[in-house]
Structure 1
């Protein structure tokens, strides 16, 4: 613990030397819906925390709904006295914030690794899954890909407007996947990429996607699943900030336009043993087939994680590459689980179902549990789409059905934690019901 504190203290002191104008640091963590919560600390107090002073925040901050409110979930929130819970600083995540008007820093905090971790904290859920896999000699290597839209900064009657083309001052009218769109929006995209790199995120490929003003960013592969999910979470925060600085609004909303493709979170996962051998490639790739079968078996029960809100379900069965059934295939982007063409050393799955606004810690945890379950059960998967275009199993396409499918699934309760599953499902149920408590103009047009 002393060595750990000295490392953190050195990190804070080095940051202060390199950024003497920074007076405050945002200490942030991801809640269940995937939003950051936390506190803004004076840099002097952060140094004390790094040296070993307690860092406490309300436990129930993790339970916030999409709009920030608290729901009664069991005894949490209203019958537990709203207790504090210990957090710790995540080493290596203290970075400057360049998109605010004043110099600022930010640093991730978490309850995982403390004496009493919060069972339903997303980062802690993933940490437990990774720890169990490591004890079994399974070492994941992970890479995220995130799609997002750029909109004009100003909404029109609450509705998004296409991003203005900087050269023509007109709506983005570049053809699908057109490389010219990257040039037209290079100022903001380059700033997003550089800002992410300043946060320690390995940005690789940038693609102009099919929707107007839609882009995709790929991250490098990591043998640290927690850090990979950290990257995805931090990228969303910095990208929104950079977009506003340039006069745009960046959104990872799953389906902002009905007529255009939604935005997804694609996750590449390969599994290795301690010697660096690809476990999925052994025995003529039989473990790959078992892992796929496990993913597909649990996928219908993980839909509240992959599609975490009402809008995310709109993305399913959309215009492009958004599956309507649990399926797999080789080099097939219509499949939920795609097997990219690769050599045995890099054999992996690409899980394509999650929406871009899903919680990256929970998405990765659910995928890894599916792979783990498949390797243990050793079942054969259904036919790949390459052999049968109608292959697939149904999954829920509405939140309340999805919650019911998740809450009592024995494997998920065992491997993600029963307490987490109960808390998460009730959070999603309450958020969905709260969303319904508003009469929209269309109801008056149809039924008045």
Structure 2
């Protein structure tokens, strides 16, 4: 508490704060508060209905949710996370963001809060003397959405639009140098460990990698905050940034790849056997991840547009398989130093809730370790050319039904969160069916 108060004293220019939590879609829900009244939030938290973490993508109540009328739309108490205050560099006025998460009146974590779901998985690892070390790669498009057709923004340097993909192009990065310079400065101010930036295979598409860290909650925080930052900062520069899975039908979509290893209490990577193949624990974790993909697809592909990305030959996996140094599979084991032996989970789109995505990935890996699972042989070559492999659910409907009925999902997540998430997705599916493709793009462009 004292650290939070000291932060505000050191930043007298901050006149307003935002307190915000992630709902099930990863949308920031919260309040604007004058900085002079921040002490009350710091000491006592703030309150809003538990149903607020269970809104649909438009921000509407879930009509069938018992949280709304059946339970009287009761409040939860939201308290600051360990992240503390940070600036919001995408706003014109000096403003601070205070991330919060929800608890019940009796002090217990609210089971429908996605951040608590991830915390519970991390606690299970800790009980086994293991700590996940996590890094994420986030892809996004810079888009000029001012007209009827989406297109890449003109370069602030040349005024020209590059109408082709420019994979790993320095020219593409330099064309938006002012934006990326501001973005890295903002990441430093917010203590987001943004590392390498590259141009990707889509039109105006880029990727920024996060540094590995041994705090999975913080890694998910970083991804959530980074998405808020990129979208807000892009608007300040006069264009949009979007993490939606597939804004352009003819180009590859946005992924959010997750790398992780596990270290024991001595700091040793338990996936490292000194060679390229990895340990038995690595095999257990791979098998767990593979087992979890089918039933967790709704978390990796949470929106109608998500399934446009999961098509063969579009740099996103469609088959549930693994391999060494193979980017056509769902679970890749990268090459490199044995001490850095790790898993890369390649299924999720950029439109995910990072907390739920990471809880599903790590939770599945842990079940593989707990159950001593063994994976099938690794796939070599083009996994898209192997139709005999088990495939991901192809539709949103199938993913919703699978998620709801899965014994594995019931093992990974609280029943309340599962119920809330399924009700949310069913409501969204109903209303999105009424939208044209253009209206769907307009919906997802800024929200996800």
**What stretches of structure 2 of length at least 5 have no aligned partner?**
440-448
Determine whether 1:94 maps to 2:77.
no
Determine whether 1:436 maps to 2:433.
yes
- Aligned residue number for residue 103 of structure 1: 94
- 1:355 maps to which of 349, 353, 357: 349
Q: Which moved more, 1:135-144 or 1:416-425?
A: 416-425
Residue 200 of structure 1, CA deviation: 0.8
Would you say the 8 A contact 1:155–1:161 is kept in 2? no
Would you say the 8 A contact 2:45–2:80 is kept in 1? no
Match of 1:102, SS state, is coil
Match of 1:313, SS state, is helix
Would you say the 8 A contact 2:142–2:242 is kept in 1? yes
Structure 2 Cα separation of the partners of residues 225 and 117 of structure 1: 18
Would you say the 8 A contact 2:328–2:382 is kept in 1? no
Q: Which moved more, 1:70-79 or 1:424-433?
A: 70-79
Would you say the 8 A contact 1:261–1:318 is kept in 2? no
Match of 1:79, SS state, is coil
Would you say the 8 A contact 2:77–2:103 is kept in 1? no
Determine whether 1:332 maps to 2:329.
no
Q: Which moved more, 1:253-262 or 1:407-416?
A: 407-416
Residue 43 of structure 1, CA deviation: 1.2
- 1:13 maps to which of 6, 31, 34: 6
- 1:191 maps to which of 178, 182, 189: 182
Determine whether 1:133 maps to 2:130.
no
- Aligned residue number for residue 410 of structure 1: 407
Cα-to-partner distance string for 1:310-359 (whole Å, 9 max, x where unaligned): 00110002543211111111111111111011333211101111000100
Runs of 4+ in 1 over 3 A off after TM superposition: 438-442
- 2:338 maps to which of 334, 344, 348: 344
Structure 1 Cα separation of the partners of residues 36 and 236 of structure 2: 28
**What stretches of structure 1 of length at least 5 have no aligned partner?**
1-7, 443-448
Cα-to-partner distance string for 1:174-203 (whole Å, 9 max, x where unaligned): 633211111111100111121111111011
- Aligned residue number for residue 444 of structure 2: none
RMSD between aligned alpha carbons?
2.0
Residue 20 of structure 1, CA deviation: 1.4
Q: When the two structures are superposed, what TM-score results if normalisation uses the length of structure 2?
A: 0.92
Q: Which moved more, 1:254-263 or 1:174-183?
A: 174-183
- Aligned residue number for residue 287 of structure 2: 293
Match of 2:378, SS state, is coil
- 1:116 maps to which of 94, 104, 108: 108
Cα-to-partner distance string for 1:53-78 (whole Å, 9 max, x where unaligned): 24212111100100111113441222
Match of 1:111, SS state, is strand
Would you say the 8 A contact 1:287–1:375 is kept in 2? yes
Cα-to-partner distance string for 1:218-271 (whole Å, 9 max, x where unaligned): 111111110000000001111111111111111111100011110000111101
Determine whether 1:320 maps to 2:323.
no
Residue 395 of structure 1, CA deviation: 1.9
Residue 419 of structure 1, CA deviation: 2.1
Would you say the 8 A contact 1:165–1:184 is kept in 2? yes
Number of residue pairs matched?
Answer: 431
Structure 2 Cα separation of the partners of residues 164 and 78 of structure 1: 49
Seen in structure 2, the aligned counterparts of structure 1 residues 235 and 386 have a Cα distance that, compared at 3 Å, is: same
- Aligned residue number for residue 260 of structure 1: 251
Would you say the 8 A contact 1:403–1:425 is kept in 2? yes
Would you say the 8 A contact 2:325–2:334 is kept in 1? yes
- Aligned residue number for residue 78 of structure 1: 69
Would you say the 8 A contact 1:278–1:344 is kept in 2? no
